[in-house]
Structure 1
Amino acid sequence: MTNPFLIEFPKLGAPGIGYISVVEQQQLVPFEVKRVFWTYYTPESIVRGRHAHHRTEQVLIAAAGRIIVTTELADGTIQTFRLEDPHVGLYVPPHAWHTMQYSHSAVQLVLASAGYDEKDYIRDYEQFRQIWQAQP
């Protein structure tokens, strides 16, 4: 069982010309990317996420603004990550309950290992605890 961890992507460029960060297939990202999506204009008072996945792995990137991500594993391990550098991503494994809170200007880019499938989501916190506590 893998824990969430930060991934630093290359930051190429300079202050005078700007920067570019690149992700190439399965370099730095520990899975094949099957889906990309982004969220934006989320009010600061809203907490998004509030779910875990059975199988999907994700990397969350604050392409703009700040995102506070809290992850919880079934063993009770809680970690909080502050994403505000567009060249840093957070790997979220399938078994991690996660929530995100955004600054108003935040744009979150998500790289996912699978296409959208509602059956892959665990949206009930108590069900999450029961499912993953039963795993060896």
Structure 2
Amino acid sequence: MNNSFSVFDCKIVKLPIVHENKGNITVLENSINTPFDTKRIYYLYDIPMDSTRGGHAHYKLEQFIIAASGSFIFTLDDGSQRRDFFLNHPDKALHIKPGIWREMREFSSGSVCLVLASKEYTESDYIRDYNDFLKFRNGK
């Protein structure tokens, strides 16, 4: 289990765009323009604007987060530093490394948060309590 990544290891990645007169297309391919092979895809939508989501970390899972529509803010926390990322365009993805706490907020109307995950869903990979997360980060 990796507890050594910091919020500065997480970054916005510019995705390729194929421009056409009829509209644009962005293609994501495992380990070509994504940092891992995608094992699970899901998306969040119809989120009330004043809601917060997330509030957890993962022991092993990596994620690629894309604002497929609208905008929202991701706050990442490594136990000692916090960093905000504003996502508002489908040609940018936030790469979140394992062992990073995440919270989402300020969803615009009609926003869709698309998530590519490096692993299939496993409840045991989640850290859902912030104090447990801090213990994990401190190696306890």
- What displacement does 1:17 show? 2.0
TM-score (norm 1): 0.93
1:58-103: CA deviations, max 9, x gaps? 01000000010000012x1211000001010000111110011221
What is the CA distance between 1:112 and its match in structure 2?
0.1
TM-score, normalised to structure 2, is 0.90
CA distance in 1, matches of 2:57, 2:109: 24
- Aligned ranges 1:83-122 → 2 under 5 Å: 83-101=87-105, 102-122=107-127
Question: Which one-letter code corresponds to 2:116 in the other structure?
Answer: L
Moved over 4 A (4+): none
Show structure 1 runs of 5+ residues with no match. Answer: none
Query: Are 1:11 and 2:17 counterparts?
Result: yes
Query: Is 1:81 aligned with 2:85?
Result: yes
Counterparts of 1:5 and 1:27 in 2: how far apart (Å)? 17
Q: CA RMSD in A?
A: 1.2
Q: Determine helix, strand or coil for the equivalent of 1:116.
A: coil
Q: Which residue of 2 aligns with 1:35?
A: 40
1:29-60 deviation per Cα after TM superposition (whole angstroms, max 9, x unaligned) = 21110000001000011100000001100010
Counterpart code for 1:81: F
| Structure 2: unaligned runs, 5 residues or longer | none
- The answer for the alignment partner of 1:22 in structure 2 is 27
Residue 58 of structure 2 corresponds to residue 53 of structure 1: yes
Q: Is residue 36–residue 112 contact of structure 1 (8 Å, CA) maintained in 2?
A: yes
- Residue pair 1:7, 1:28 contacting (<8 A) in 2 also: no
Cα displacement (A) at 1:27? 1.6
Residue 121 of structure 1 deviates from its aligned partner by 0.5
Amino acid paired to 1:92: I
